[in-house]
């Protein structure tokens, strides 16, 4: 092994390979083990993910709305995803017949998003498009009593919240990532597959590292991670103050904002 690495020009100033303090047999065995875990995980994940055009709820009932996606909870929030929290809150307010399903991260909508819903054997992606569907097709409109101006204010405030809160959450998730690894651990610990629970000590750090890298790249591109924590909080506070000034005593009629 050292001779092979030396032939590739990999050596230390003292003539020894950088791996001289580690048994090459350990490296080979470790590499094979990691590769095996990855391949088995990919096979397991593929066998438990719906294919394009398939439904999560195959034995669906008519007129029942099935909310699909990973169901991640915290002691402080009933749902970790703000989009799923918004959608399920809307469903509860409209008292529509619905059921929340924990379909995991592998089952995404046709647009690669979650949450999504399945209704009468049809998939509907994107939380905002879903709410539009509920309003127009199922006649579940919380703003039907508002005039055109007030409906415009409702939509504007909703967008203010979404476009600000989304990136503040992303930034603080990245900065406090060490505290959030328990979310990934829960995915494996709550799995019905014994193998998934067994590989958790190896898979969780790999999965967490990959996720942190992705949100870091997105946050840098969007700009929220280029700001300090104090600057993000200041912008969020400014948004809340603006919303408070707009609403005044009208909170009671903006049920959907």
* Closest of 31, 3, 36, 29 to residue 17, by C-alpha: 3
pLDDT tens digits, one per residue of 42-92: 544 444 455 556 788 889 999 999 999 887 666 566 777 788 888 999 999
Instruction: Report which of residues 220 and 51 the model is more confident about.
Output: 220
pLDDT for position 167:
86
Check whether 123 has a pLDDT greater than 90. Answer: yes
Check whether 15 has a pLDDT greater than 90. Answer: no
pLDDT for position 118:
94
Euclidean distance between CA atoms 206 and 208, whole angstroms:
6
Average pLDDT score over residue span 136-147: 90
Confidence band for 97, pLDDT divided at 50, 70 and 90: very high
pLDDT for position 183:
64
The alpha-helical segments, DSSP class H, found in 105-228 are: 127-136, 148-175, 181-189, 194-198, 200-222
């Amino acid at each position: 092994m050292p001779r092979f690495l030396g032939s590739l020009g990999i050596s230390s100033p003292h003539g020894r390979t950088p791996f001289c303090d580690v048994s090459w047999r350990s490296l080979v065995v470790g590499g094979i083990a990691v590769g095996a875990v990855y391949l088995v995980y990919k096979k397991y994940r593929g066998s438990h993910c719906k294919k394009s055009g398939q439904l999560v709820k195959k034995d669906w009932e008519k007129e029942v709305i099935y909310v699909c996606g990973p169901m991640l909870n915290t002691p402080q929030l009933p749902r970790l995803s703000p989009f799923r929290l918004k959608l399920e809150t809307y469903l509860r307010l409209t008292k529509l017949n619905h059921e929340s399903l924990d379909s995991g991260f592998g089952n995404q909508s046709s647009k690669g998003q979650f949450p999504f819903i399945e209704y009468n054997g049809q998939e509907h992606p994107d939380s905002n498009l879903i709410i539009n569907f509920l309003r127009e097709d199922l006649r579940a409109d919380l703003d039907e009593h508002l005039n055109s101006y007030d409906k415009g204010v409702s939509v504007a405030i909703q967008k203010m919240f979404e476009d600000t809160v989304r990136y503040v959450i992303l930034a603080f998730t990245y900065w406090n990532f060490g505290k959030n690894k328990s979310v990934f651990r829960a995915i494996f610990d709550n799995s019905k597959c014994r193998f998934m629970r067994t590989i958790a000590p190896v898979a969780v750090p790999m999965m967490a590292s990959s996720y942190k890298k992705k949100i870091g790249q997105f946050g840098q591109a969007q700009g929220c991670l280029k700001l300090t924590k104090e600057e993000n909080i200041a912008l969020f506070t400014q948004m809340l103050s603006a919303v408070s000034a707009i609403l005044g005593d009208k909170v009671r009629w903006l049920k959907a904002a």
